[in-house]
Amino acid sequence: MTRLALVVVLAGLVAGCDQNMDEQPRYSDYSRAPLFRGSVLRPSPANTIARDDPEREKAAHTKPALTPELLARGKERFGIFCSPCHGGGGDGTGIIVQRGMPRPTSYHDDRLLAADDQHFFDVITNGYGAMYSYAARVPAADRWAIVAYIRALQLSRHASLDDVPADERSKLEAAP
């Protein structure tokens, strides 16, 4: 009798393990979810952008026109994202470098003076050696703005008075 009871209990246990995976408690894609008071498929949060969004790709391949607004934006973004290591003037002596980060090549180095805009854009996008990628933090349009500002920084040490527009030149000459 006890043996029979044991067999019955074991059979019950074994049957209990045989839960069909098709019948597991889960939602199918379009079913309603009481928790969300709507479909299980939640709408994307506002301003969500797909990784392969064509606009994103386009921004990466379209260099914007050089305007004072672009330079101002680049200056601001450079101050936030790059100057901590590269320093305000681009010499590579920012505060993080002073605290031990390897010193990057100065933007005023001959090699970087000769490098094209795309090189700077690519370094921000992909990182370079010890420098990590800023692609997730700096959108493509802002990368171009930063590149424009770096060009301005480089020019600032190699410009002559002839590069200054006439109306601005008089202001410079009037300065003490």
The stretch among 17-25, 62-70, 81-89, 166-174 that binds ligand HEC (CB under 6 A) is 81-89
CB 105 within 8 A of CB 92: yes
- How far is residue 101 CA from its own chain's centroid? 21
Residue among 143, 155, 156 nearest 77 (CA)? 143
Q: 105 forms bridges with which residues in the sheet? A: none
Among 6, 102, 117, 133, binds ligand HEC (CB under 6 A): 102
Contact status: 145 vs ligand HEC (CB under 6 A): no
Contact status: 129 vs ligand HEC (CB under 6 A): yes
Q: 128 forms bridges with which residues in the sheet? A: 131
Rg of the chain, C-alpha, whole Å: 30
Contact status: 82 vs ligand HEC (CB under 6 A): yes
Quick one: 56 or 164, whose CB is closer to ligand HEC? Answer: 56
> Contact residues for ligand HEC (CB under 6 A)?
81-82, 84-86, 96, 101-102, 104-105, 120, 123-124, 128-131, 134, 138, 146
